Structure 1
Amino acid sequence: MKQITSSQNSYIKRLLKLQEKARERKKLGLFIIEGLREISLAIKANYKFETVLFNSHLISQTEVEDIFKNTTELIEISKEVYEKLAYRNSTEGIIAVAQSKNFSLNEIKFKNYNPLVIIAEGLEKPGNIGALLRTADAANVDAVFIANPKSDLYNSNIIRSSVGCVFTNQIAVGTSEEIITFLKENNISIYAATLQNSNEYHLEDYTQPTAIAVGTEATGLTTVWRDEATQNINIPMQGKIDSMNVSVAAAIVVFEAKRQRDFK
C-alpha cells in the first residue's frame, strides 16, 4: 500500500488545491469528503471514489477496507499530512477524493406524481446552503434547485454544514429562468417567499405539485420569481425585524406543506 508522510508531496499539494479552489474542482471533476458519516452518505448515493486517505492512528486499515470493499485505492498518510488536509478537528482520520456528479436539470427524476421542491436563489454563504440542504433532507423533499448559484456545492464548508445532505438530496443547478421553465413544463406550482403582493403562507394549498422558492435574507428573490409565481407568500413576523434566516423560512413553509400532505 502506498504511504505518504510529507505534506510537501506533490499529490498532497494537488489535494490542497482541490480543496481550496472551485475552479480546480470543476476542471478535474473531483472534490474532497471528510468524515465517516459524510463518506457513508456519499457511498449510498453511488458516488465514485478516486482515492481514500487514512491515518492509521485514528482508523485502522481493516476498517477502511471494510467500508470500501477493495474498490478504491487506499493511501496511508502520516499525522502531519492528515492535519494538513483535514478541514475540521474530528473527522475520524479518513478523507476521500470523490468524482463530482452532474447537477443538471435534465438529471432530475421525480419518484411520485406530486413532487415537493425547494428552490434557493442566489445563496452565497456555505452555512446557509448547508442548513437548507439539511432542511430538505429532514422534510424528504423530492428535489432542491439552486438558482443562480454563488457557491460551489462541493465546497468543504457546504459538505460540512450540510452534514452530508449534499449527497442525500436530489439537486439541480441552473438559472432562475431555466428552473422556472422546468417547473412550468412539469406543471409544478411556484410559491415565492416575498413580501410583495403576497398572502400568508399558511393560507395556501400545497397538496398539489409544489415548489417553494426562497431568496437571500438581504435581497430576497429577484423580480422574475415574484412575477412568475403561482402565488407570492409571506411568513407573518411578530417581532421588530422583517426577515429571518433563509433555511428557517424554508423549513416553516416546507413543513406546512408536509402537514397538509399528512407528512407523506
Structure 2
Amino acid sequence: MKAITSPQNNYIKQLVQLKDKSRERKKTGTFLIEGIREVSLAIKGGYKLKTVLFYPELYSEVQLNELTNQQTDCIEISKEVYQKLAYRDTTEGVLAVAKSKTNSLGDLVFKNENPLILVAEAPEKPGNIGAILRTADAANVDAVIIANPKTDLYNPNIIRSSVGCLFTNQIATGTTSEIIEFLKEKNINIYSAILQESVDYHTQDFTKSTAIIVGTEAVGLSNEWRKNTTKNIIIPMQGEIDSLNVSVAAGILIFEAKRQRNFK
C-alpha cells in the first residue's frame, strides 16, 4: 500500500487545493470528504470514491476495508499530512476523494406518485444549505433543488454542516426559470413562501405533488416565483420580526406537508 508522509508531497498539495478552492473542484470534477459517517453515506448515496486516505493511529486498515468495501485506491498518511488535510477539529482519521455528480434536473427520478420537493433559491451560507439538507433528509423528501446557487454543493462547509446529508438527498441545481419549467412539466404544485398576497401555510393541501419554495431572509424569493406560483404561503409571525431563518422556515413547511401525508 502506498504511503505519504510529507505535507509537501505534490498530490497532497493538490488535495489542499481541492479542499479550499471551488474552481479546483469544478475543474477536476472531484471533491474531498472527511469523516467516517460522511464517507459511509457517500458510498451509500452512490458516489464513486477515487482514493481513500487514512491515518492508521486513528483508523486501522481493517476498519478501512470494512468501510469502503469497493475497489478504491488507499493511501496511508502521516499525522502531519492528516492535519494538513483535515477540516474539522474532531479527528477520525479518514478522508476520501470522490467524483462529483452532475446534479442536473434531468437526473431527478421520483419514486412517489405525488412527490414532495424542497426548493431553495440562491442560498449563500453553507451552514444554511447544510441545515436545509438535514431537514430534507429527516423528512425524506423526494428531492432538494437549489435555484441560482451561490456556492458549489461540494464546499466542505456544506458537507460538514449537513453531517453527510448532502449524500443522502437527491439534489439538483438550475436557474429559477429552468426549475419553474421543470415543475410545470411534471405537474407539480408550487407553494412559494412569500409575504405578499399569501395565505397561512397550514390552510393548503400538500398531499398532492408539491414543491415548497423558500428564499433568503435578506431578499426573499424573486418575483418570478410569485408570477408562477400555485399559491403564496406564509408562516404567521406573532413577534416583532417578519421572517425566520431559511432552514427553520423550510422545516416548518416541509413537516406540515409530511403531517398532512401522515408522515409517509
Does TM, scored on the shorter chain, surpass 0.5?
A: yes
Question: What per-residue deviation string (whole Å, max 9, x for no partner) do you get for residues 164-196 of structure 1?
Answer: 001000001000000000000000000000101
Alignment of 1:48 with 2:86, yes or no, is: no
Structure 1 unaligned blocks of 5 or more: none
Q: CA deviation at 1:234?
A: 0.5
* Aligned pairs (5 A) from 1:7-46: 7-46=7-46
Aligned to 2:133: 133
Q: Which amino acid aligns with 2:125?
A: K
Aligned to 2:72: 72
Distance in 1, Cα, partners of 2:69 & 2:135: 32
Q: CA deviation at 1:71?
A: 1.0
Q: CA deviation at 1:109?
A: 0.4
Alignment of 1:86 with 2:77, yes or no, is: no
Aligned to 2:211: 211
Distance in 2, Cα, partners of 1:245 & 1:69: 39
Distance in 1, Cα, partners of 2:203 & 2:48: 44
Aligned to 1:110: 110
* Aligned pairs (5 A) from 1:51-62: 51-62=51-62
Distance in 1, Cα, partners of 2:91 & 2:211: 35
Q: CA deviation at 1:69?
A: 2.8
Distance in 1, Cα, partners of 2:211 & 2:72: 38
Distance in 1, Cα, partners of 2:69 & 2:242: 52
Segments ≥4 residues shifted beyond 6 Å: none
Distance in 2, Cα, partners of 1:103 & 1:131: 19
Distance in 2, Cα, partners of 1:136 & 1:67: 25
Distance in 2, Cα, partners of 1:30 & 1:241: 41
Distance in 2, Cα, partners of 1:251 & 1:23: 31
Distance in 1, Cα, partners of 2:91 & 2:153: 20
1:36–1:91 contact (8 Å) kept in structure 2 = no
Aligned residues: 264
Q: CA deviation at 1:91?
A: 3.8
Distance in 2, Cα, partners of 1:106 & 1:18: 27
1:191–1:210 contact (8 Å) kept in structure 2 = yes
Distance in 1, Cα, partners of 2:54 & 2:119: 37
Aligned to 1:6: 6
Distance in 1, Cα, partners of 2:66 & 2:205: 48
CA 225–81 in structure 1, closer or farther in 2 if over 3 Å, else same: same
Q: CA deviation at 1:70?
A: 5.4
Q: CA deviation at 1:10?
A: 0.2
Q: State the secondary structure of the residue aligned to 1:167.
A: coil
Q: CA deviation at 1:243?
A: 0.6
Aligned to 1:178: 178
1:82–1:93 contact (8 Å) kept in structure 2 = yes
Q: CA deviation at 1:93?
A: 0.3
Q: Which amino acid aligns with 1:146?
A: I
Q: CA deviation at 1:75?
A: 0.5
Aligned to 2:97: 97
Aligned to 2:223: 223
Aligned to 2:124: 124
Question: What per-residue deviation string (whole Å, max 9, x for no partner) do you get for residues 128-178 of structure 1?
Answer: 000000000000000001000001100000000000001000001000000
Distance in 2, Cα, partners of 1:219 & 1:104: 25
Q: CA deviation at 1:227?
A: 1.1
Q: State the secondary structure of the residue aligned to 1:165.
A: coil
Structure 2 unaligned blocks of 5 or more: none
Distance in 2, Cα, partners of 1:70 & 1:64: 10
